[in-house]
Amino acid sequence: MPNSQEYIGFVEFTGKGVQEGLLDARKQAKALIGFDSSLRFFVGMQIPELQKADYDIPVRVEKGSWQVLIPENIEAWIKLWASTAVLAYLTSAAAKTAQNDFADVGLKDIFRRSLEGIQWFIKIGKHLGELGKRKFEKVRWRNNNTEVGIPNGEGQYLFVPKGFLEWFVQAPKSLITDLAEVISTSRQLNVSLIYPDHVETVSVTQNDRHVFFFKEESEEMLFPDLKHGQHIALEGLVTRGNENSNSIGFLYCEHILTCYPSKGSIVRFKSALFLECKITGTITRCDKFGNMSDPRPKIIFDDLVPLEVEPDMKDLFEESGLDNMDSEE
């Protein structure tokens, strides 16, 4: 078992289907790609510049079970192999994250929180039995409103730290689909965090695989009627706000669209978070290369008006922003 002095955590496949700790080449490739993409998503939620940046995540594959391990000294590894541009991101973005979110943050903390984000994505998915639900009613609160209790179809509650629930709402359904594809009746997925006195593991077995094995139709044009440059007025739900990227998530016809204000900061729209709203603005299909061919439209919005009458909210899951809530101490 890896120890806390050497590793932050690890992802592994165990079971009879992992003979002597080995997977065939195709499954290994799927597992490594799935781990890299899911980890980068949560790293990017904390430092957006690093989500698509060119840097290497050091891993180690061991026999006994097929494991990919994140070393304790990951900061030194990344700084050793990162490009000059990424090093600049690490210096400025990590400092900004520390100032805005929590003190004494380092890359090790960011990667630990990212692994924990994968764990909570799995916990919530297993609890709900699906990944499509992104709006929660009859929620409960505890620990000074830092944890949100969300019910499943059987009325059972799972309490989730507010920040990790916000990340779940923004995560794509296909986040761990490449990892889930490797799961079988004789092979289960474990995601583990290593602490000085214990290892915390979240598992996905064949019984849960269907929740996470999902292929997005990413090549198809989403909402082809929304043309680049078109002025629109749409009604939907504001699902999140990200001050780092100065964007909001807008749930429209079962899809979350990324929206950017045409001017200024999203801070002035905090009162609209998690409310049904009318958004007005302009469609852009400009991709990262400058081409007008992005299959997923984005909105440059001029105005965002709540359609519900609610008290002001300080954050996405502030108690006053949801209906039918109970509280627990």
Q: What CA–CA distance (Å, rounded) separates 299 from 254?
A: 16
pLDDT at 322 (0 to 100)? 40
pLDDT above 60 (res 326): no
pLDDT above 60 (res 122): yes
The residue ranking higher by pLDDT, 103 or 125, is: 125
User: Angle 249-255-261 (CA atoms, 0-180°, nearest 5)?
Assistant: 30
Question: In the predicted model, what is the mean pLDDT of residues 309-315?
Answer: 48
Q: Which segment of 52-61, 96-105, 108-117 scores lowest on mean pLDDT? A: 96-105
The per-residue pLDDT for range 206-215, each reduced to its tens digit, is: 999 999 987 6
Question: In the predicted model, what is the mean pLDDT of residues 234-251?
Answer: 92
Residue 95 parent element (H or E): helix 84-100
Contact 172, 294 (CB under 8 A): no
Please list, in sequence order, all residues whose beta carbon lies within 8 angstroms of the beta carbon of residue 34, skipping any fewer than 6 positions away.
176, 177, 178, 179, 180, 181, 182
Sign (positive/negative) of CA torsion 256, 261, 266, 272? negative
pLDDT at 107 (0 to 100)? 78
Q: What are the C-alpha distances in Å from 30 to residues 40, 152, 180?
A: 15, 30, 9
Sign (positive/negative) of CA torsion 228, 257, 313, 105? negative
Q: What CA–CA distance (Å, rounded) separates 13 from 34?
A: 13
pLDDT above 50 (res 311): no
pLDDT at 113 (0 to 100)? 95
Q: What CA–CA distance (Å, rounded) separates 53 from 25?
A: 26
Question: In the predicted model, what is the mean pLDDT of residues 112-127?
Answer: 97
Arithmetic mean of pLDDT over the chain: 81
**Is residue 98 very low, low, confident or very high in pLDDT (cuts 50, 70, 90)?**
very low
Q: What CA–CA distance (Å, rounded) separates 253 from 193?
A: 36
Which letter does DSSP use for residue 319 in this model? Answer: G
The per-residue pLDDT for range 249-299, each reduced to its tens digit, is: 999 998 999 999 999 999 999 889 889 999 999 999 987 656 677 889 999
Question: In the predicted model, what is the mean pLDDT of residues 19-29?
Answer: 75
The residue ranking higher by pLDDT, 58 or 127, is: 127
**3 state DSSP class of 301:** strand
The per-residue pLDDT for range 42-85, each reduced to its tens digit, is: 988 887 766 666 666 655 666 657 888 888 887 666 665 555 55
Strands (DSSP E) along the chain, which ranges? Answer: 7-14, 66-71, 140-142, 147-151, 157-161, 188-194, 199-204, 231-242, 247-252, 255-261, 276-284, 298-306, 326-327
pLDDT at 99 (0 to 100)? 47
**Is residue 185 very low, low, confident or very high in pLDDT (cuts 50, 70, 90)?**
confident
pLDDT above 80 (res 224): yes
CATH of domain 231-306: 2.40.50.140
Please list, in sequence order, all residues whose beta carbon lies within 8 angstroms of the beta carbon of residue 93, skipping any fewer than 6 positions away.
47, 48, 49, 50
pLDDT at 132 (0 to 100)? 85
pLDDT above 50 (res 325): no
Question: In the predicted model, what is the mean pLDDT of residues 160-164?
Answer: 95
Quote the radius of gyration of the chain (alpha carbons, Å). 20
pLDDT at 96 (0 to 100)? 55
pLDDT at 312 (0 to 100)? 43
Count the residues in the chain. Answer: 329
pLDDT at 49 (0 to 100)? 66
How much is the pTM? 0.64
Q: In the chain, what are the domain boundaries?
A: 7-212, 231-306
